[in-house]
Structure 1
């Protein structure tokens, strides 16, 4: 399964989504712009998109209202270490109230990995951030048991969107 993500203006991506209404795509928007997300086992119709392989997939997405894309830049030589950590992760988030699923996306090119979590609403994500499960999932961050800083090629960053 491949995932394609393309970014642009809300108006342009809305039009593109409408032109390809038979495709299973999601439109994300926030104050900075928009993104289209396309899960497919075939080629995408996007002209310019970032391509990812689906590394891990939990949950069924049923009209989510909010999505969090955690972009994690990883050194090419450290990809196996990063992927092993995520293959053996605690698996807590997909069991949280309001979480519909998680997708861990492996970049084809030298782009950041994306950990995408899909939620019913933004408040569900915020509730998870203040939960014990969040603390448990992130307890080793910045410790000797966590991922070494040397595997990152840059600073991870979050992008949050409403799902249209």
Structure 2
């Protein structure tokens, strides 16, 4: 499945959402502005977008909740290693209270993958981060080592959003 994202003001993105009600577009915001997220095959929604392919997915994204995106730059040679690691993950996150959905997104125009998780609220995400399930899911990964993983093309960063209910 194809995924597209674009940034803008929340007001602008909500107008796009209203213009394309069939698209099931999600609009979210944080302190830096708005983000529109779309899964599907409509290439005419955004003028400037980041395009991804879905590597793995769990659950259905909902129009309300809390979204965390781990943005991970990956080398060309490291793509198979990175994707295999996520395809063979332990699946501990699915059983966490408040978990809604997961998307592993392969970039088509850059080197930065996105690991998107959706939660009922920010507390659900914090509970996951402090859980034994989180520790078990990450215990044998390079993420707990000082050195960057072999597939790394630069430092990863996290963005967090609250979904904005449609008008």
User: Same fold per TM (> 0.5)?
Assistant: yes
Closer, same or farther in 2 for the Cα pair 1:24/1:144, shift >3 Å?
closer
Q: Separation in 2 of the partners of 1:34 and 1:151?
A: 30
Equivalence for 2:56: 56
Q: Separation in 2 of the partners of 1:27 and 1:44?
A: 17
Post-superposition CA distance 1:35-69 (Å, at most 9, x none): 00000034341111000001001112333410001
Equivalent position SS for 1:76: coil
| TM-score using structure 1 length | 0.92
Q: Separation in 2 of the partners of 1:151 and 1:57?
A: 21
| TM-score using structure 2 length | 0.90
Alpha-carbon RMSD across the aligned residues, in angstroms, is: 2.1
Q: Separation in 1 of the partners of 2:29 and 2:149?
A: 31
Equivalent position SS for 2:23: coil
Aligned positions of 1:1-164 closer than 5 A: 1-142=1-142, 149-164=149-164
Equivalent position SS for 2:136: helix
Equivalent position SS for 2:63: coil
Answer whether contact 1:38 1:44 (CA < 8 A) is retained: no
Answer whether contact 2:58 2:102 (CA < 8 A) is retained: yes
